[in-house]
A and B are shown apart, each in its own frame.
Chain A
């Protein structure tokens, strides 16, 4: 294995660990938000009324999306390398495409409830 690969793996591990910590926090808050929303019996209109223009809400879910976009593709990469025996390069492309998809879909949703 080349030196670059070692460096990359060690860094990817750091990013995955760090994003996991962010996710642990985000998932808890997210569950809280869901429970709150359900208990309050809110309708779609009143939900949007609370999320529109809410900077904190927008910032929180942007962080959530970014943490997912970092965490999930790295895990997928490891699975593809280990179980499917894919080479690092195609695996890298696959992970990048997956990360992009999460970012686009996720941020679009955030945009939809906060801005649009």
Chain B
């Protein structure tokens, strides 16, 4: 006989509630597989997001047994050894319906943190040459693989208690650009990420780094921003 898994899935908006479903257990089953099975076999009105199913697009993050995770690469056996799975929408974001959240704030903050590359070169110029082992290039490499999943943002206590805090992902993005030698908007970006809504509010406790599924370290990116903004401020260049 096939064993069953008890999945309690959040239904409704922010005032919704968990609804319990019995889902057949399978080998190598992911949390996303569970949600998909519920939608296909039991209730087609269940709303959730995913796209790539291989950990690239960043759209499938949810709260799984109390922790934000990417669901397409989270195996049931690893997070629910006793066969009980609570699946809720990401925290710190408004719930639209069921497992989908409104991520507008999250991405707007990337814009507020000057997360857009601004170069000076034209297409007629040759490629910029950046030595792979230079200090700045290495700092970029360490932070660039963000998939924008929002796991860090949902795990950050500071985001929870001060809604204007830019959050780990946007600050991590800004850090990659601060270290991009081709970028020309350094000063403006440092001003955007300094202060109460920016890097100075981070408590350096590292929930973001602990939970990031890509093993990035927004905490160190933020520490880097604090360092660079302080140096700029002491040289009257902020």
Contacts and interface: CB of A to CB of B under 8 A. Distances in A.
The answer to whether A binds B is yes
Interface of A: 1, 3, 5-7, 9-11, 13-14, 17, 81-82
A82 B194 CA distance: 16
Given A14-B233, A14-B234, A17-B230, A9 B196 contact: yes
Contact of A6 (B194, B201, B226, B231): B194
8 shortest A-B CB distances, which residue pairs? A10-B233, A14-B230, A6-B195, A10-B229, A6-B194, A11-B233, A9-B200, A13-B230
Interface string B180-206: 000000000001001111001100000
A1 B197 CA distance: 8
A49 to B, nearest CB: 43
Contacts of B233: 7, 10-11, 14
A63 B226 CA distance: 25
Contacts of B226: 10, 13
Contacts, number: 40
B54 interface: no
Given A9-B196, A10-B238, A13-B200, A3 B230 contact: no
Interface residues of B, number: 16
A9 B225 CA distance: 13
Contacts of A3: 191
Contact of B195 (A5, A17, A82): A5
B230 A11 contact: yes
Contacts of A82: 162, 201
B51 interface: no
Nearest to B200: A9
B191 A6 contact: yes
10 contacts: A1-B197, A5-B195, A6-B194, A10-B195, A10-B230, A10-B232, A11-B230, A13-B226, A13-B230, A17-B230
Contacts of A13: 200, 226, 229-230
Interface in B198-238: 200-201, 226, 229-234, 238
A14 B195 CA distance: 13
Nearest to B195: A6
A7 B238 contact: yes
A95 to B, nearest CB: 15
Contacts of A1: 195-197
Contacts of A11: 230, 233-234
A73 to B, nearest CB: 16
A13 B198 CA distance: 13
Contacts of B197: 1
A82 B165 CA distance: 12
A9 B195 CA distance: 6
Given A6-B191, A10-B195, A10-B226, 15 more contacts: A1-B195, A1-B197, A3-B191, A5-B195, A5-B196, A6-B194, A7-B238, A9-B200, A10-B233, A11-B233, A13-B200, A13-B229, A14-B230, A17-B230, A81-B196
